Amino acid sequence: MSDSDTSKPEKSDEETKAEAAEPSEQEQQADAEASATTEEVKSAPETEADTADSSAEEGDGAASEKEEEAEESKAEEVKEEPAAEAAPEEKKVEEAKAEEPKGKAADASVAASPDLVKKAEEKLKELEEDEEDELMEKVVFINRCAKVVKGGRRFSFSALVVCGDRNGNVGYGFGKANEVAECIRKGSEISKKSMVSVALKDNTIPHEVIGEFGGGRVLLRPASPGTGIIAGGGVRAVVEAAGVKDVLAKSMGSNNHANVVKATLKALTSLRTREQIYKLRGKKMKEKAAL
């Protein structure tokens, strides 16, 4: 063996194994470069995907904003169109209302508001009730009629009713029914429908008068204030309902209640005031001298 060979110390098996296990510097650099390239390759698709997603999101947001703006513009156009259409219609309605007379406009307003109609009906009912309350009703006579049948007797009733407002209007009614209350109701309804006007002078009648109907004959005379009603039976009922407060009366014929009432009414309807007589004759009344 030579000196050179002898000068170099021999390496042990352990050292050779460690050297073989330790990578060289070149291998380390190559491994580092390979890992860097792999990381770049991995990160590149991720960034590209992120950018694609972000761009897609931005595009969707822009599209949604555009759609919202388009919808808003359409809604505004739709609102404007009815308003523009309604404007001429409103003008037409206003012109028609201006042309209509006041009476028709009032009728339309009443028809349009059911509350006003109800109030008007209530007022009419109240007025009718007040008028009915003001009317004076008096039953002059109730007659009972008996019909004999196989099982016994059947009764029916008739009522003579006088009605008046004590202000120159009076009438009579004759009602028949199987019950007393029903015949009085019928008589009062008939008397209200058959009312006639009577000429009065202050609280008495203008002049003396005689009324006749059938066998009934009634005399009526004017009386001074404070005398009262000097009459009886059907004559008193008719005179009170007419509104006469001072009168002298006498029944000179039949005592039948119906004929007496009809004779009294005939006497009252034949009364005439001085003005009516002068008007019929075509004359003018003299004016009263001032005191």
- Segment 96-149, tens digit of pLDDT: 666 555 544 445 554 546 777 878 888 887 776 666 557 889 999 999 999 999
pTM of the model as a whole = 0.54
Does 260 reside within a domain? Answer: yes
- Summary mean pLDDT of the chain: 77
The pLDDT score that the predictor gives to residue 55 is: 52
Q: Residue 81: pLDDT above 70?
A: no
**CATH number reported for the structural domain that contains residue 192 in this entry:** 3.30.230.10
Does 84 reside within a domain? Answer: no
Does 222 reside within a domain? Answer: yes
Does 109 reside within a domain? Answer: no
Please answer whether residues 211 and 242 qualify as being in contact, where contact means their C-beta atoms are separated by less than 8 angstroms.
Answer: no
Instruction: Give CA–CA dist 213/267, Å, rounded.
Output: 9
Does 56 reside within a domain? Answer: no
Does 25 reside within a domain? Answer: no
The pLDDT score that the predictor gives to residue 87 is: 55
How sure is the predictor about 250, in pLDDT bands with cuts at 50, 70 and 90?
Answer: very high
Structural domain of residue 205, as residue ranges?
133-281
Q: Residue 170: pLDDT above 80?
A: yes
Is the pLDDT higher at 86 or at 79? Answer: 79
Total domains in the chain come to 1
Instruction: Give CA–CA dist 274/48, Å, rounded.
Output: 123
